[in-house]
Amino acid sequence: RTNVSIVTEAHDHYVKANEPGPTISPAEEIALVRKVRQLAKAGDWWVLAGSLPPGVPASIYMQLIGDIQAAGAWVILDSSGDALRDGCAARPFLAKPNDVEIHKLTGPPVGNMAEIAAAAQAMQRSGVDNVIVSLGKKGALLADAESVWLAASPQIEEKNPIGAGDSMVGGLVWGLSQGLPLPQALRWGIACGAATASMSGTAVGARELVESLAAQVNVSREPLSAIPQP
């Protein structure tokens, strides 16, 4: 499919138009599931991300997560709506909604950090091992079985937010693949997202830029009562 993004010269507004993509037949869906089962192996990291094309049921992520994790691999789910809801039922290692998506999933308001943290903890208790709520310029919030963590974004001149979320997931997976604890892997995710947001067009930041930004990312473990209000 083709997605078109238009960014103003002042970099203060953008419009994004995403095509739905081609309709997937039942035979193609079956072939995909078989291929994933064939490729999944212990120790791998998988990212299941994005909206689903026409013809594919919302339950496909749930099935794929079950198959992948049965092979001993880990899954990060980055989707929305019914695909996110059904996928979380398979108990992935991590889900990464934004504040709007987690509100739709859990129901309670998410107007401040305390409410976002409460929603993330509720989602984590429902069966997802870890929940990262991406918050754009504010960074991200991580809820695991024991704690809530806040990761603040470094200061950048934002030029283009398109692709920043995908870059964040990429940096996060890189950190996890290197054996870093999740809060420290999140530092690299935030840095990669910020690097992409600081670039023009479809460019992504070089390693040197990512390393520089990672040094500026503050990741702190916070009790719920200490999470700041806006």
Within a domain: 68: yes
- From the list 123, 125, 128, 150, the residue with the least C-alpha distance to 139 is 150
Is the pLDDT at 201 greater than 80? The verdict is no
Same domain, 205 and 222: yes
pLDDT at 214: 96
Q: Are residues 133 and 217 in the same domain?
A: yes
* 229 assigned to some structural domain: yes
Q: Tell me how many domains the chain contains.
A: 2
The CATH number assigned to the domain holding 201 equals 3.40.1190.20
Structure confidence by residue, pLDDT tens digits, 140-149: 999 998 899 9
Residue with the two structure tokens 């499919």? 1
Q: Domain check: are 85 and 99 in the same one?
A: no
Contacts with 121 (C-beta within 8 Å, 6 or more apart), sequence order: 131, 143, 148, 224
Mean pLDDT of all residues belonging to the chain: 90
Residue where a domain stops, chosen among 90, 109, 137: 90
Residues 120 and 218 grouped into a single domain: yes
Average pLDDT score over residue span 157-176: 91
**pLDDT(226) > 70:** no
Region of 72 please: left (phi>0), alpha (psi -120 to 50) or beta: left
Residue where a domain stops, chosen among 70, 90, 110: 90
Tokens of 39: 């490729």
- pLDDT winner (highest mean) among 3-12, 84-93, 152-161, 197-206: 84-93
> Are both 40 and 124 inside the same structural domain?
no
CA distances from 97 to 136, 151, 156, 203, 209 (A): 11, 15, 23, 24, 26
pLDDT at 230: 43
Q: What is the pTM of this model?
A: 0.89
The answer to whether residues 136 and 41 belong to one domain is no
Q: pLDDT digits over 16-67, tens only? A: 787 788 999 999 999 999 999 999 999 999 999 999 999 999 999 999 999 9
166 is catalytic: yes
Residue 165 and residue 106 share a domain:
yes
Percent residues over pLDDT 90 in the chain: 71
Q: Check residue 131 and give its pLDDT.
A: 98
Token match 């999933």: residue?
105
Note whether residue 4 is domain-resident.
Answer: no
Domain identity same for 66 and 138: no
Tell me: do 126 and 76 sit in the same domain: no
pLDDT (0 to 100) of residue 213 = 97
Is residue 5 in a domain? Answer: no
Do residues 81 and 195 share a domain? no
Same domain assignment for residues 80 and 146: no
The boundaries of the domain holding residue 47 are: 22-90
- Whether residue 141 contacts residue 150, with contact meaning beta carbons closer than 8 Å, is answered with yes
Please tell me whether residues 67 and 125 are part of one structural domain: no
Asked whether residue 6 is assigned to any structural domain, the reply reads: no
Domain boundary among 90, 119, 142: 90
Asked whether residue 116 is domain-assigned, the answer is yes
Q: How far is CA 212 from CA 50, 81, 93, 223, in A?
A: 29, 35, 28, 28
| Order of strands across the sheet that contains 148-152 | 45-49, 74-78, 94-95, 130-134, 140-143, 148-152, 218-222
The whole-number average pLDDT for the span 159-166 is 84
Whether 8 is covered by a domain: the verdict is no
pLDDT at 120 over 60: yes
pLDDT one-digit tens code per residue, 176-188? 999 999 999 999 9
Evaluate whether residue 10 is within a structural domain: no
pLDDT of residue 224 exceeding 60? no
